[in-house]
A and B are shown apart, each in its own frame.
Chain A
Amino acid sequence: MTTPIQAGAYAPASHGIAAARATDLSKVYGEGETKVVALNQVSVEFRQAEFTAIMGPSGSGKSTLMHCMAGLDSISSGSAQIGDTELTSLKDKKLTQLRRDRIGFIFQAFNLLPTLNGLENITLPMDIAGRKPDQQWLDRVIETVGLSGRLKHRPNQLSGGQQQRVAVARALASQPEIIFGDEPTGNLDSRSGAEVLGFLRNSVRELGQTVVMVTHDPVAAGYADRVVFLADGSIVDDMPNPTAETVLDRMKAFDAKGRVS
């Protein structure tokens, strides 16, 4: 069991090099009366070759944190870094290139272009960059996610789980520094979800990939090496080596607290 710590005061023990880092990151929507603080001076590091889950109730700011860290959304104040690159200083063009070359994405839905077949979808980021995929690596990734027989299929000929596996393969194929997943199993049944999560964990264990995943599902979080808990725009806890049970317990504690306050 971990002890709850004060928001913003958490400093992770650095037993790895940070693949991404947020420092005093704030995100504010609107102005004056309608002002909403989505993220309040959040500082967090995501270490290389680690599988991190971001958890929290609806409206806690977990998706916003991911979007800001991944260069999908702008930051109101503070800093967000991928490796040594400061995102806040980048213009749209450089930011797009950074997403293309250094980040992998898995979304909850609409990961794939319906006009492209499985393989084309997997190599899409590299096609955009005009790079040739590393064939050996590509084969290994495809084999890992078990799609060898379905590469010529269009997304509408694949099941939801298969589609998400294509998305995982796409994220892995370009060997990005970090992969961000936004509820990657949110639309899947539990068996397919388990498969996808297994691949993500294996990619971290076997391939040394860095993965950050937003989820509200304790079971999904149980696959991670570490869980960061958010509430009301602040980090409220950081749990290493979670299991589904410990995460669930921790969340129940939030709920109880929420009901009391």
Chain B
Amino acid sequence: MLRTALRNVLAHKGRLMMTVLAVMLGVAFVAGTLVFTSTIQEAYNKSSEKGFDHVDVAIQPIKRDADDEKLKPVDNLDQRTLDKAAALPGTKSVIGIVSGFTGIADKKGSLVGDGWGTTGANYYAGQDGKGTDPRYPMKQGQPPRNANEIAIDAKTADRTGYKVGDTVPVSVDGPVREQKVSGVFTTDDGSVQAGGSLVLFDNTTAQKLLADPGEYTEIQLSAAAGTSQAKLQSEAEKILPPESKAVTGQKLADDQSKMIEAQTSGMQTAMLAFAGISLFVGIFIIANTFTMLVAQRTKELALMRAVGATRRQVTRSVLIEAFSVGSVASVAGLAAGVGIAVGLRSLLGSVGGGEMPDGPLVVSPGTVVTTLVVGVLVTVLAAWLPARRAARIPPVAAMGSVHAPATTRSLVLRNTLGAILAGGGAALVVGAISGDDSKMMGLGAALLLIGVFVLTPLLSRPMIAAAAPVLKLFKVSGKLARLNAVRTPRRTAATASALMIGLTLITGMTVIAGGVQHAIDKMATGSIKADYAISMANFSTLSPDVEKRLDAMDEVEVSSPFRTSPALVEGDKETLTGVNGSTISELTSLEFTEGSWKGVSEGNKAIVDTDMADKHGWKVGSKVDVAYEDGKRGALTVTGVYEGNQLIKGIQMDTKTLDPHMSKVADLQIMVKTTDGASDAMKQTLEKGLGNNPVVTVQDKQDISDGIAQVISILLNILYGLLAMAVIVAVLGVVNTLAMSVFERSQEIGMLRAIGLDRPGIKRMVRLESLVISLFGGVLGIGLGVFFGWSAGELIAGAGLDTYELVLPWGRLALFLALAALVGVLAALWPARRAAKMDMLAAIKAE
């Protein structure tokens, strides 16, 4: 039996080609994901280990949990702690560290490194200020020695073209500082490796800018010879100030690698999910192929049964065939996956702006085993049903003269089951909307999807019949295409379903994204009257000087800061927002259910959103008990209740009331209304007024919604990219079905050619069949996608995005339908050519 099975594989090489490709692509996706993630994980681990080389013990302030009742930020470490740490018997040397956000502008004035990996720190020249900082070996020039000097990392120097002696614009929290580059250094710093920038100030300046004079954000100790990390740690623990901890360098490195692992495993899970979708689509193709192969070999299999093969042997022979197909495809997929990983690494390096840390390609034994097992298992499982069907072929079929027995088995059971599943699923989804139950919706969606799979053979007839008027335009070719498409409903359904899966997901996500975009647009334009919002590039805080500077400009009519401070309101931890009470009503347009901004500027007054008002039973005139960040208590009088949204919510009060209680007065955002409204010229004026600051962004409403649109479209494009594989596999499925059908119908095609259908007519017939099948899958997918998009959107709306409403992206939907059509046309290219080139005589000669 083994020999027969293997011979069959070899004999049907061509027909198994598409199946091998389909499995291969899915497996390659899995392998690529695993290899890629373990490669970057290893690379980051190595680079972070290097980063902790010189640290034996670190003293750090303990970060507070979000639900901590204490409101004041944790104190930084002071000079005394550093001196004490330096004096410990086990300490060889000590480094005090201050770091925080610092932006540097390139020669064109734009921010280097997009605002995320852009940091500033101190150059710690020893306790006497005369030594060198071991972390930052200078490549050129000198370390910064005074407030006017900085050193920049070599990568940033390369990228911007700055040299020692140049004066460059730098900014920490708003105001621009023109600093002289005194030196260029090299570093293993992780964020620099990942494409960020690092600016070093001298110790005093860094403390002043990034913390407070005399303060450090971390102290690192290196152990004297013979002192272990643990010993030094226990020594350090004795001198710890309150709310701080001593951690060994080993622990820091471990924590870092755990964090990296958590991040990459998140990415890995997401990518594997999409790989799983591709494999799932592949299952349809594998099952279809083996069903067709078994049908074509009816006589052969019946003969084997007739000469004495048992049912189990027949089943096993088909499964062995699947096993060998799966093995070949999996090995090829593994190789392709390694290629994908290499490609992804260089792609991420070039697109992300920075580079991945260098490291070898990691193909672990686990990856190899997982990929091979997944590939083979998927293939064998998908071939299971066709194999069992093969075993049911009666020996007598070998004697029959019937070429391809009509399989008009009743679909009644199947359709009943499908209707129950689909109906139940849809009901669950709709029910989940009113119940705000995302788990129930997921279950309902899965059931509905399965139900539709089961029902596609039934749906194929009426839906393809609906296309008849269009197909009539293509005369005989159109008619034959339509009839061929519904000839084996199961085959057509499986082929269309494969395409449906990808399109359902693509459409659903597009619909949701469109709705979210719309909601945010509406929010941005609906509640804001200001012409511009000014904020930091990384959304950290701005110095209050920025607002003062803006307010002093002639072009600025009114402005207001938005500064936040944590507080305990009636015992609950809440965020207070401080605004300019006298100008704010000209900058925002909130919907008040009661009262207004009026009176807020008088002090100890506030407006609250409806959620909080409902929760606490507040009305205009209610007194609200507040414990501020600095521990002082006060009472606020409610002057208005408004409908909150994602941009403006909670308690809003005047800065005059809030500022005295804030540990550090800083603005999250500044809103500005100008004399002439929003325009490019005005934007430039504002930017110029702020000294063309690299870290400050000036955005009008359009910029805000464009910014969000960009984030959404990048996300959507990544999803499209990941789903593209599933669509490609589906295309292979269509090619597969058509090629098999053309092969099975070769005698018919020969006869058609003989009685006068020309080659273009034959080609047209195959192409139209392909188009019909693809569009069938496309329409089902888009329809389901819109339904899922709608229902998930309702859930999102219910979860707090009040302005959400369904916006059908008609243009995109039309595009997806066109994509389905394109799939049909492309998939038919080769089968149609084959059909047209078929040897007419060979085809019509009787067996």
* Interfacial residues, chain A to chain B (CB-CB below 8 A): 67, 70, 72-73, 92-93, 96-97, 99-101, 105, 107-111, 113-116, 124-125, 127-130, 156, 170, 182-183, 186-187
State whether B476 touches A128 (Cβ < 8 A). Answer: yes
Known: A110-B844, A156-B406. A115 touches B483 (CB 8 A): yes
CB contact between A105 and one of B475, B480, B754 (< 8 Å): that residue: B754
Distance to closest chain B CB from A95 (angstroms): 9
Q: Give the size category of B's interface with A.
A: 20 to 34
Q: Which B residues are in CB contact (< 8 Å) with A116?
A: 483
Q: Tell me the bound Cα distance from A54 to B513 in angstroms.
A: 73
State whether A99 touches B759 (Cβ < 8 A). Answer: no
Task: Please tell me if B761 contacts chain A, counting CB pairs below 8 Å.
Answer: yes
Q: Which A residues are in CB contact (< 8 Å) with B840?
A: 72
Within 756-800 of B, Cβ neighbours of A (below 8 Å) are at 756-759, 761
Distance to closest chain B CB from A227 (angstroms): 22
Q: Which B residues are in CB contact (< 8 Å) with A100?
A: 755-757
Q: Which A residues are in CB contact (< 8 Å) with B356?
A: none
State whether B846 touches A109 (Cβ < 8 A). Answer: yes
User: Which stretch in B542-550, B646-654, B727-735, B745-753 binds the other chain?
Assistant: B745-753
Q: Tell me the bound Cα distance from A187 to B42 in angstroms.
A: 72
State whether B846 touches A115 (Cβ < 8 A). Answer: no
State whether A67 touches B846 (Cβ < 8 A). Answer: no
State whether B480 touches A113 (Cβ < 8 A). Answer: yes
Task: Please tell me if B1 contacts chain A, counting CB pairs below 8 Å.
Answer: no
Task: Please tell me if B487 contacts chain A, counting CB pairs below 8 Å.
Answer: yes
Task: Please tell me if B718 contacts chain A, counting CB pairs below 8 Å.
Answer: no
Known: A72-B840, A115-B480, A127-B476. A108 touches B846 (CB 8 A): yes
Within 390-411 of B, Cβ neighbours of A (below 8 Å) are at 406
Known: A107-B844, A127-B475, A186-B846. A96 touches B751 (CB 8 A): no
Q: Tell me the bound Cα distance from A187 to B754 in angstroms.
A: 20
Within 814-847 of B, Cβ neighbours of A (below 8 Å) are at 840-841, 844, 846-847
Q: Which B residues are in CB contact (< 8 Å) with A182?
A: 844
Task: Please tell me if B484 contacts chain A, counting CB pairs below 8 Å.
Answer: yes
> Chain B interface secondary structure, helix, strand, loop or mixed?
helix
Q: Tell me the bound Cα distance from A114 to B847 in angstroms.
A: 17
Number of A-B contacts (CB under 8 A): 77
Q: Which A residues are in CB contact (< 8 Å) with B759?
A: 92-93, 96
State whether B844 touches A128 (Cβ < 8 A). Answer: no
Q: Which A residues are in CB contact (< 8 Å) with B483?
A: 113, 115-116
State whether A113 touches B752 (Cβ < 8 A). Answer: yes
State whether B756 touches A129 (Cβ < 8 A). Answer: yes
State whether A72 touches B754 (Cβ < 8 A). Answer: yes
Q: Which B residues are in CB contact (< 8 Å) with A111?
A: 751
State whether B761 touches A128 (Cβ < 8 A). Answer: yes
Known: A110-B747, A156-B406. A128 touches B755 (CB 8 A): yes
Distance to closest chain A CB from B769 (angstroms): 11
Q: Tell me the bound Cα distance from A29 to B841 in angstroms.
A: 14
Q: Which B residues are in CB contact (< 8 Å) with A73?
A: 841
Distance to closest chain B CB from A119 (angstroms): 13
Q: Tell me the bound Cα distance from A125 to B479 in angstroms.
A: 13
State whether B755 touches A124 (Cβ < 8 A). Answer: yes
**Which chain B residue has the least Cβ–Cβ distance from A156?**
B406
Q: Which B residues are in CB contact (< 8 Å) with A113?
A: 480, 483, 748, 751-752
State whether B758 touches A97 (Cβ < 8 A). Answer: yes
**17 pairs, CB–CB < 8 Å, chain A vs chain B:** A72-B754, A72-B840, A92-B758, A93-B758, A96-B757, A96-B758, A96-B759, A99-B754, A107-B844, A113-B480, A113-B483, A113-B748, A128-B476, A128-B756, A170-B755, A182-B844, A186-B846
State whether A110 touches B476 (Cβ < 8 A). Answer: no
State whether A125 touches B475 (Cβ < 8 A). Answer: no
Q: Tell me the bound Cα distance from A100 to B483 in angstroms.
A: 22
**Which chain B residue has the least Cβ–Cβ distance from A108?**
B846
Q: Tell me the bound Cα distance from A99 to B751 in angstroms.
A: 11
Query: In the complex, given contacts A99-B755, A105-B755, A107-B844, what are 7 additional A-B residue pairs having Cβ atoms less than 8 angstroms apart?
Result: A93-B759, A97-B758, A99-B756, A107-B754, A110-B844, A129-B756, A187-B846
Q: Which A residues are in CB contact (< 8 Å) with B476?
A: 124, 127-128
Most-contacted residue by chain B among A93, A108, A109 (CB, 10 A): A109
CB contact between A101 and one of B406, B479, B756, B844 (< 8 Å): that residue: B756
Q: Tell me the bound Cα distance from A100 to B750 in angstroms.
A: 13
Known: A97-B758, A109-B846. A67 touches B841 (CB 8 A): yes
Q: Tell me the bound Cα distance from A61 to B842 in angstroms.
A: 16
Q: Encode contact with A along B465-479: 1 for CB under 8 Å, 0 otherwise.
A: 000000000011001
Q: Tell me the bound Cα distance from A101 to B747 in angstroms.
A: 21
Known: A73-B841, A128-B761. A107 touches B756 (CB 8 A): no
CB contact between B753 and one of A96, A108, A115, A186 (< 8 Å): that residue: A96
**Which chain B residue has the least Cβ–Cβ distance from A110?**
B747
Q: Which B residues are in CB contact (< 8 Å) with A92?
A: 758-759
Most-contacted residue by chain B among A97, A100, A130 (CB, 10 A): A100
Q: Which B residues are in CB contact (< 8 Å) with A187?
A: 846
Distance to closest chain A CB from B157 (angstroms): 70
Q: Which B residues are in CB contact (< 8 Å) with A186?
A: 846
State whether B484 touches A115 (Cβ < 8 A). Answer: yes
